[in-house]
Amino acid sequence: MLKKFRHTEGLLARYARLVCDTVVPYQERAIRDEIEGVVPSYAIENFKNAAILNKTGVKPAGGDHKGCVFQDSDVAKWIEAAAYSLSVKPDAELEKRLDEVCELIGEAQEADGYLDTHFTLNRPKEKFTELVGGHELYCSGHMIEAAVALYEITGKKKLLDTVCKNADMLYRVFVTEGREGYPGHPEIELALLRLWRVTNEDRYMELAKHFIDIRGIDTDFFNKEYRRLGINIIYDNHYSQCHAPVRQQSDAVGHAVRAAYLYTAMADLAAITDDKELEDACFRLFESIEKRRMYITGGIGSSYHGEAFTADYDLPSDTAYTETCASIALIFFASKLLKLRREGRIADVMERALYNTVLAGIELDGKKFFYVNPLEVLPGISGNIPTHRHALPQRPGWYGCACCPPNTARLIGSVANYAWDEQDGILYSNLFASGELTLSNVTLEVETDYPFGDTVKYKVKKGSTKLAIHIPAFTLKNYSVSAHGELKSGYYYLEVNEGDEVTVKVEMIPRLYRSNTRVASNSGKAAVMVGPVVYCAEEKDNGDVLGFSFRSSAELKLNKETPEQIGGFYSEASDLGAVYTVTAEGQQTVMDNASDLYFTDEYRKEEKTLKLIPYFMWGNRGLNQMRVWMPVEL
């Protein structure tokens, strides 16, 4: 859908422009090590050194691979994001630089199709001996995704030819020659299915199916690999979702990004092959996430240890991991599930993850990024003490492990692919996004300020179609559609023809949300949402937010303000436009002597009105407290 959709106005359009104008150029400088004061990437340098080694047979002085073992994937994700940006805003100079990077990657590829600069430069005799953590297949997967995106947007095949040569080598090694093993970090499975779609080469789908089918059959595989490598520890198979065959899995476990990438491929394969057993497993895993292991922000993976799912209802706020990449992967998973069962609750999860954790992962100026997305931040504790060191209170400019920044860019750049899709002759509007969609049978224009407005207008400029509009769960008890249709499983189905104008009205009011009492850190607390957007309180607007408590019956007032009116935001945030803010009545707990650690005196209660801003905007005004969940006075 990406090439067929043109953003116009609104929040998603703003972020699409930000990716084109700021994020992609900034990240290009980052992977080229051209930004002073940020952690070096070495990503392009590694490809240059591998290319020299391939050409001359001699590794250049100082030419060892640097950075994380999976550093190649940063380049791949940047290429993919840059390709999507070209669909939004053509840029001949960027396209030229992309051609040069693709040429360099081809030069770094070995004659047999092998492509991984870490092993080419540092461990040429150890290829595929450390599938548990070597990330060769993971990097191949991201490079395949980049090549497919670039081909779909520009029609250029240089990188596509490179990854096909790599995929053919992988097929030969793992299928024809029967080498044991599967990826420690799933990703290539979903990528191979994308490659199959653009090439029609069945061996790519067969290889994806092979990796999915054998996963967890030999649950001791990675331990055997450890023993061969002389590593004397016991591998936790749950970490890489290989504790059981995938069709027998029920709970979302282990590293959250690995899990959601795997589940994405499983759902895609189930749809392609009509595999009901695999489909049922996907929905069991989705319900494990949606009902018991997902934050209100759409974040997943609650533990710093292993960046992982833990147990049902273990969702702490101040130590939440909720990696940006994990919510991006959850969106991928949800989009594939919609192809299996068109249920509004799936699109609800996709929308929640997008508007909260994903957008929070990027500074409003497009130059700083969160890897971790806590729901409570305390300066002096968050980012400092050992148990909270991962929960940074401010976004860095880059990371040594920089998987999240380019992942965020590629998701935002391709958001039209998740907002729209077609199936069985029906056009589905999964997310409300302002813009114009031009298909062979219909041209639709959408006008909306959502999620900071309650009206969405669909104008049929040409042609006709069956249209299904996702009606989010938060408004299902109070919504309206100006045209006759039928609501089914969270989608409103109707026929539209040239000249029709369909208006959808949703209920955008602030609400207090409680969580299951088994979420220990949220007991007696509530969070505010307006539509799909979660709200938080920052010290910048309120002073100390730790002593505030909502009144359960108090009025929550909805306001609409620009960043300038809210105050404290820098000028680069001005193009955000007006957003909803919320003011809430409550009480502030006051101690007579703030220096006492413990005391027998009563707290004093003072009336207070709290101001809340969208969660995705937090951390853009310097170091200060932030909180999503706050106590409720019963």
CA atoms within 13 A on the CB side of 425: 5
Residue 68 is among the residues annotated as catalytic for this protein: no
Contact 19, 409 (CB under 8 A): yes
The first and second tokens of residue 2, run together, are 């990406």
Cα 31 to Cα 403: distance, rounded to the nearest angstrom: 12
Cα 191 to Cα 264: distance, rounded to the nearest angstrom: 10
Contact 532, 352 (CB under 8 A): yes
Residue 403 is among the residues annotated as catalytic for this protein: yes
Phi/psi-derived region of residue 399, left when phi > 0, alpha when psi is between -120 and 50, beta in every other case: beta
494 three-state secondary structure: strand
Hey, which residues does 590 pair with through a beta bridge?
604
The first and second tokens of residue 490, run together, are 């969270």
Q: Any idea what DSSP says for residue 508?
A: -
DSSP string, 307-331: TB--STT---STT----HHHHHHHH
CA atoms within 13 A on the CB side of 393: 20
Place of tokens 């920089």: 402
DSSP string, 41-94: --HHHHHHHHHHHHHHSSPPTT-S--S-TTTHHHHHHHHHHHHHHHHHS--HHH
Contact 334, 352 (CB under 8 A): no
Cα 518 to Cα 292: distance, rounded to the nearest angstrom: 10
Helices (H), 200-237: 202-214, 221-229
Cα 243 to Cα 215: distance, rounded to the nearest angstrom: 9
Cα 8 to Cα 17: distance, rounded to the nearest angstrom: 10
For residue 482, which amino acid is it? S
Cα 360 to Cα 615: distance, rounded to the nearest angstrom: 7
Tell me which of 403, 445, 447, 536 is the catalytic residue.
403
β-pairing verdict for 533-538 and 548-551: unpaired
Contact 94, 82 (CB under 8 A): yes
Q: Residues near 148 by Cβ (< 8 Å), separated by ≥ 6?
A: 160, 163, 191, 194, 195, 197, 198
User: Taking the CB of residue 57, how many other CB atoms lie within 10 A of it?
Assistant: 7
Place of tokens 């930000």: 18
The first and second tokens of residue 384, run together, are 């400092």
CA torsion 495-493-278-322 (nearest 10°) is 120
Cα 128 to Cα 587: distance, rounded to the nearest angstrom: 60
Tell me which of 80, 110, 307, 376 is the catalytic residue.
307
Q: Residues near 128 by Cβ (< 8 Å), separated by ≥ 6?
A: 134, 136, 173, 179, 181
DSSP string, 420-452: EEEETTEEEE-S---EEEE-SSEEEEEEE-TTS
Residue numbers annotated as active site: 307, 403
